[in-house]
Amino acid sequence: MATLPPETKIPDQKKVGMVSLGCPKALVDSERILTRLRADGYAMSPDYAGADVVLVNTCGFLDSAKEESLEAIGEAIAENGRVIVTGCMGDEADVIRARFPQVLAITGAHQYEDVVEAVHEAAPPAQGPFMDLIPQADVKLTPRHYSYLKISEGCNHSCAFCIIPDLRGTLASRRIDAVLREAEKLVAAGTKELLVISQDTSAYGVDTRHEEREWHGHIVRAHMTDLARELGQLRTPEGDVPWTRLHYVYPYPHVDAVIPLMAEGLLTPYLDIPFQHASPKVLKAMKRPANEAKVLDRLKKWREIAPDITVRSSFVVGFPGETEDDFRYLLDWLEEAQLDRVGGFRFEPVEGAAANALPDPVPEAVKEERYARLMEVTERISAAKLQAKIGRRLPVIIDEVGEPDEDGDIGATGRSQADAPEIDGQVYLRNVPADLKPGDFVSALVEDADAHDLFGVIDR
């Protein structure tokens, strides 16, 4: 084995800390930034104290998210002092500098080159001939067994309550061969679950006119259906079909084409569709795309094709002009739609959003009352759906394995195909084998349920 000359001293690596806020798309940005920095010779610091510089990847979607970002910047400055800000709130540099003039640099969302350059300036990398020979792997901020796969940036819609196009620009789809190459690489490296994300997954490739590329000897289009079909061909090193979830899917007609892939077991039977409301009047005021779709009829057809399909969504209550009749329409729609997973939000004005100028704002007390009623209805639906799973055997992916208790029993936490990480429910398993590890697929017998989670045992 070759050794270094005794006089050779490998320089200490500069260390970068990272605070990543906001949505999974921002998390992917953080992973890409850290991957670039590690390739440049930086090490990652798990805490403020050990970092030569701290990056704060901010969220600027809602005023509450902006305040959380500002608090994170303040904490990083107090604990470390050398802070670079990036992300969606980077477009409000004046606001950040007015509160924290000592911030070293501020860049906008997905401006990777600018962030790396700022880090280089603040803490020049300790590179040399031996450091440059060290092979580097991509940095992951998620557990090894699941990964986010970002297929595009930006959005072409102009929803009245949203400023994402202002923060992240118009739709910019990645080349489909690049997306598939990344997915293939992730699965080969141990990813068991791919979470496909973008601002509008259904619109993937619209900006490139669904350009065609060669992939493994055949032609594929930059189109959601082609992408889903090709992802369904991936296999883990053990020969399993990895779970593949589609997030942020608008209900355009071509979404129907991916449902048979779910029925065939090639795509996880799960769709995350941000409906936001059901009242036609409110949807029109929101300027929501695809709101003319006959969603209830399509939900019925999807369930006929793939009976185990899970549909999750989110809804906004208290949008300007929302009447009690509009809200009751939403509740009645939810009773009929029987969505599996639902998140609720109270409308919150965002600086720069068109909705701020709309008449008839809903009083805060009414928003709270409607939010409580929304949650009551959706929790009741969720509880009934989960109760119906008692006695069934479901595939589960393991996220965490606990330590033995006083009796030697080991518990584990996992998720069914109906549960995306961080946003949906969990499956709690008792008395699992000692050799179980995160990322393992198991068959679980469901023994109990509450409004959000399942409880059971591995079906041996």
- Residue ranges for the known binding site are 23, 59, 88, 155, 159, 162
Strand partners, 414: 398, 427
Strand partners, 394: 444
Instruction: Give 107: exposed, middle or buried? Use CB within 10 Å, 0-12, 13-18, 19+.
Output: buried
Instruction: Give 69: exposed, middle or buried? Use CB within 10 Å, 0-12, 13-18, 19+.
Output: buried
In angstroms, the CA 187 to CA 189 distance is 5
In angstroms, the CA 83 to CA 207 distance is 36
61: enclosing H helix or E strand: none
Q: Which two tokens stand for residue 52?
A: 């030569």
Q: Which two tokens stand for residue 58?
A: 């901010």
Which one, of 5, 88, 77, lies nearest residue 48 by Cα?
A: 77
Q: Which two tokens stand for residue 262?
A: 């779910």
In this structure, the chain runs to a length of: 460
Q: Which two tokens stand for residue 337?
A: 């739609």
First to last CA, the chain: 47
Which one, of 342, 346, 344, 343, lies nearest residue 368 by Cα?
A: 346
Q: Which residues contact 218 (CB under 8 A, 6 or more apart)?
A: none
3 φ, ψ to 5°?
A: -125, 155
262: enclosing H helix or E strand: helix 259-263
**Which residues are documented as binding site for [4Fe-4S] cluster?**
23, 59, 88, 155, 159, 162
**At what angle are helices 224-231 and 176-188 packed, to 10 degrees?**
20
CB 398 within 8 Å of CB 436: yes
Residue 371, Cα to own-chain centre: how many angstroms?
A: 23
Instruction: Give 365: exposed, middle or buried? Use CB within 10 Å, 0-12, 13-18, 19+.
Output: exposed
Taking phi over 0 as left and psi of -120 to 50 as alpha, with beta for the rest, 135 belongs to beta
The structure tokens 């973008």 sit at 198
Q: What's the CA angle centered on 103, arms 97 and 105, to 5 degrees?
A: 95
What is the residue-wise DSSP string for 225-251?
HHHHHHHTT---TTSPPPEEEE-S---
